[in-house]
Amino acid sequence: MPVNKKAYGQFIADLGSHHVTLVAVSKTKSVEEIKELYDLGQKDFGENYVQELVEKQSQLPKDIRWHFIGHLQSNKVKRISTFIYLIQSVDSLKLLQEINKQAEKNNRVIDCLLQMHIAQEETKFGLDERELFELLNNIGGFANVRICGLMGMASFTDDMDKVRNEFRYLKNTFDKYAELPIANCPLTILSMGMSSDYSIATEEGSNMVRIGSLIFGVRN
């Protein structure tokens, strides 16, 4: 399926004027489709499977900024640690330890977001506020990771008031922790919003959206 260039152009104009970063979610899409969007100027792409990401990364231009947005197992961090730009889905201290270790081996600092559980569904990964607090209090020793912000996914529902409340909760949490001097770098990125709810997310203060199907077409 060809990339929806018109939708893409509108996103860039809309989101850019509000200082919102667009991460194009390219999971299940081919390297040709990704290249097509890249040629329009898109540099930030999101993937959520390690194997798929590694294969695509090896075939595509090296200045692409790859975001990892899916659930990440500690034993797979190594495979993406040489090139990953931002890991958005950190949800445990164990995972963060491994990212720090692999980053150190590669002589780099890896930027991360902590993923918060804001939806009602039990299947969505992420931290609650107590776990977030604990994690932020335990990262002092990590020299090779930087916690740059928070990420969250709202409930999959037609109830847009509910979605809005979940985003509002995440934004409030973000504001609260952004002010505390406990993180090892300023919390500046708030990643929330996908194809179905990005406009609510940006109204509620998101500054990074992860959009797949509206640009690339629906996935199988």
Q: Is residue 16 a contact partner of residue 36, using CB atoms and an 8 Å limit?
A: no
Among 124, 169, 195, 205, binds ligand PLP (CB under 6 A): 195
Which one, 34 or 142, has the nearer CB to ligand PLP?
34
Token pair for 175: 């504001």
Q: Is 126 in the site for ligand PLP (CB under 6 A)?
A: no
Which one, 165 or 196, has the nearer CB to ligand PLP?
196
Q: Is 48 in the site for ligand PLP (CB under 6 A)?
A: yes
- Angstrom distances, CA of residue 158 to CA of 55, 106, 163, 164: 35, 44, 8, 11
Which one, 70 or 205, has the nearer CB to ligand PLP?
70
Rounded CA-CA distance 30/40 in Å is 16
Question: What character string, x for contact with ligand PLP (CB under 6 A) and - otherwise, covers 200-219?
Answer: ----------xxxx------
Question: What character string, x for contact with ligand PLP (CB under 6 A) and - otherwise, covers 55-94?
Answer: --------------xx------------------------
Give the interface size with ligand PLP as a residue count (CB under 6 A): 13
Q: How many CB atoms lie within 10 A of CB 127?
A: 21
Burial class (CB in 10 A: 0-12, 13-18, 19+), 103: buried
Beta carbons within 8 Å of 88's beta carbon, 6+ residues apart: 46, 67, 68, 69, 112, 113, 115, 151, 191, 210
Among 25, 95, 170, 187, binds ligand PLP (CB under 6 A): 25
Tell me the residue number closest to ligand PLP, measured at CB: 212
Note the residues at the interface with ligand PLP (CB under 6 A): 25, 27, 48, 69-70, 153, 194-196, 210-213
